[in-house]
Amino acid sequence: MKKIVALHNDRPTRPDDGAVVFQDHDAFLLPLHEEGHWLYSYVCAQWNVDPDTIGRGPAPRDVAEAAENLRACAPRITQPPYSAGIFCDPYGPQGEPLITSVADEGRIVYAGAGSGFGYRLAPAIARKAAEILSQE
């Protein structure tokens, strides 16, 4: 499992705000319009994390590292208040995403195991999931 750290920045979003990808930092900002704030996530370098310990929440060093990374990408929005979340991103047996039907009818598809790169691979993952669903 790969550790995923996300900051929720309370800076309000506007209806025309879209996602911003920071290729040089392997990071992105995503406006969460319904919640009224921004989500920032970056590729965390920690692999092989235990999902049972991740549930305890982010450590202060996780939040500090995420805030430092955000400052490098978007210094104007790094001011608190923000909250943080921590998750696990599973990876497939060969490091590739898993996209497969999980029901006999083909109406339920698992699309995951992004190996920490799901945001970059999301368009291809979605396309493959749609292909599976259209084969009913």
Q: Which helix (H) or strand (E) holds 71?
A: helix 60-73
Predicted model pTM: 0.67
pLDDT (0 to 100) of residue 45 = 78
The alpha carbons of the chain give a radius of gyration, in whole angstroms, of 16
Q: Which domains does the chain have, with CATH numbers?
A: 2-89 (3.30.70), 98-133 (no CATH)
Whole-number percent of the chain with pLDDT over 70: 86
Question: Considering Cα of 124, then 130, then 133, then 134, what sign does the dihedral take?
Answer: negative
pLDDT interval class at 115 (50, 70, 90) = low
